[in-house]
Amino acid sequence: HMYHLLKDWKQGDTFPEPPLFYETMGPETNELMMGTSADVQRIAEVIRNRLRLDVKPLTIWESECTEKADPSMTVDTVFRTSPAYKGFRAPFKKESEGVYVPDFKHRYFTEDIPYGLVVWKGLAELTEVETPTIDKILNWCQKMMEKEYIVAGKLVGKDVKETSAPQAYGVFKLDDLVKRTTVT
């Protein structure tokens, strides 16, 4: 959702207060979340048998993890209407009274990106699966974070070593990953 909130943000732009996070989710956020889920599902399909990995689509996960969730609801609606998420604000830093800017050092960036999306991008490369939504988000995030993970569409940037992607550990083939993760 940070991508949706800030995709047009540029240095010098400020906000009078941090925006509501979950309550501002809408169709574009839903599209990104479902696109990311589809990217992950394509990766999981390729490696499911070898690693016995069972990754559920986001809509199923949300319906199982959210109180009274209706599986026909969109993901953004589940978040936007859940009392548990009411009033939660996006991670911003206060520069002065009434002047806030995005906090790109917040864990949503420093943890969720290198230990989440970059890992999935790494698995995508091992499985030769295209990830258009993950790539879109990662390309934007790395710019905002002043990091380099993806270069020319490949996970070869100088900061890959700071992630948990297989490539950070010298794994560049799916068979090598399977060998390293298989207990005999």
Highest-pLDDT range among 21-30, 33-42, 67-76, 129-138: 129-138
Q: Which residues pair with 100 in a beta bridge?
A: 15, 94
- Joined tokens for residue 21: 């996070």
Distances (CA, A) of 172 to 44, 71, 114, 176: 17, 37, 17, 7
Average pLDDT score over the chain = 88
DSSP character string of 32-80: HHHHHHHHHHHHHHHHHHHHT--PPPHHHHHHHHSTT--TTS-HHHHHH
Q: Which residue has the higher pLDDT, 67 or 104?
A: 104
Contact 148, 177 (CB under 8 A): no
Question: How many Å apart are CA 121 and CA 124, to the nearest integer?
Answer: 5
Question: Quick check: 19 pLDDT over 80?
Answer: yes
In this prediction the pTM is: 0.86
**Burial of 62 (C-beta count, 10 Å sphere; 0-12/13-18/19+):** buried
pLDDT band at 12; cut points 50, 70, 90: very high
